[in-house]
């Protein structure tokens, strides 16, 4: 007789946690972590501060969990592209496109990852499935193994490639580059391939 209520409580708890994460992400992107209070998040979700603390030990714990989980999601996306696409041009083109789509469709998430990276990157695992830079370094390492002459180490090549996506995104935020960012993905990909010293692929 108690199984259904328990299952319902579990669903409600998961739904509340998801709402907390969504509202916290929005507020953190808009106001910064320091400028957002636990009360702000609780009021946006429509729960008490005590209910929020049942899901997260603190605001900082929530901020850390949001960053690590979403950054790992980006890494997993890159690794999936590695599995489903062949060749550096195709792989890099798809990764750039997906990053631009993330900016266009989930600007709060993109902004949060960009703005708060310095607070959390030291806590990110070096495992490729949890670390977007390491995941991209694997993609670029594949190309190096196929004879492409890339900047070394692979992490440098990955950092340079990310920069070619992030800076146009910053310009788009401030209205200096026309949106959607995805419309610029082919040009960004070509620039990345040239920067990496890969010719004749895009």
Does 145 lie in the same domain as 88?
yes
Do 132 and 110 reside in the same domain of the chain?
yes
Same domain, 84 and 27: no
Residues 197 and 140 in one domain: yes
Give the model's pLDDT for residue 33.
92
pLDDT, tens digit (0-9, with 9 covering 90-100), for 143-190: 877 766 777 788 888 989 999 999 999 999 889 999 999 999 999 999
Contacts (Cβ under 8 Å, ≥6 apart) of 138: 79, 82, 128, 154
pLDDT score of 142: 87
pLDDT tier at 1, thresholds 50, 70, 90: very low
Higher pLDDT, 124 or 78: 78
pLDDT at 2: 46
- Write the CATH number for 81: 1.10.357.10
Q: Are residues 9 and 29 in the same domain?
A: yes
Note whether 117 and 145 are same-domain residues.
yes
Query: Can you give the residue range of the structural domain that contains 93?
Result: 63-202
38: exposed, middle or buried (Cβ count in 10 Å: 0-12, 13-18, 19+): middle
| pTM, to two decimals | 0.85
User: Are both 96 and 52 inside the same structural domain?
Assistant: no
Are 118 and 140 within one domain? yes
Pair 43, 121 in one domain:
no
Q: Does 193 lie in the same domain as 122?
A: yes
Domain count, the chain: 2
| Domain match, 68 and 164 both | yes
Per-residue model confidence as pLDDT tens digits over 48-104 = 999 999 999 999 999 999 999 999 999 999 999 999 999 999 999 999 999 999 999
Residue 64 has what pLDDT?
94
């Amino acid at each position: 007789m108690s199984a259904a209520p328990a299952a319902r409580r579990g669903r409600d708890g998961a739904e509340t946690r998801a709402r907390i994460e969504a509202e916290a992400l929005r507020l953190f992107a808009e106001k910064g972590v320091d400028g957002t209070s636990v009360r702000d998040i609780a009021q946006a979700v429509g729960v008490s501060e005590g209910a929020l603390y049942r899901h997260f030990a603190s605001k900082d714990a929530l901020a850390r969990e949001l960053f690590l989980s979403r950054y790992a999601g980006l890494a997993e996306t890159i690794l999936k592209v590695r599995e489903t696409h062949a060749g550096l041009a195709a792989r890099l083109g798809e990764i750039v496109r997906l990053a631009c789509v993330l900016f266009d469709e989930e600007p709060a998430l993109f902004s949060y990852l960009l703005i708060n990276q310095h607070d959390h990157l030291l806590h990110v695992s070096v495992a490729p499935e949890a670390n977007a830079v390491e995941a991209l370094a694997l993609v670029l390492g594949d190309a190096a193994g196929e004879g492409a002459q890339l900047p070394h180490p692979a992490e440098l090549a990955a950092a340079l490639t990310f920069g070619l996506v992030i800076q146009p995104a910053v310009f788009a935020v401030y209205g200096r580059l026309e949106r959607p960012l995805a419309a610029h993905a082919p040009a960004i990909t070509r620039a990345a391939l040239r920067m990496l010293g890969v010719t004749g692929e895009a």
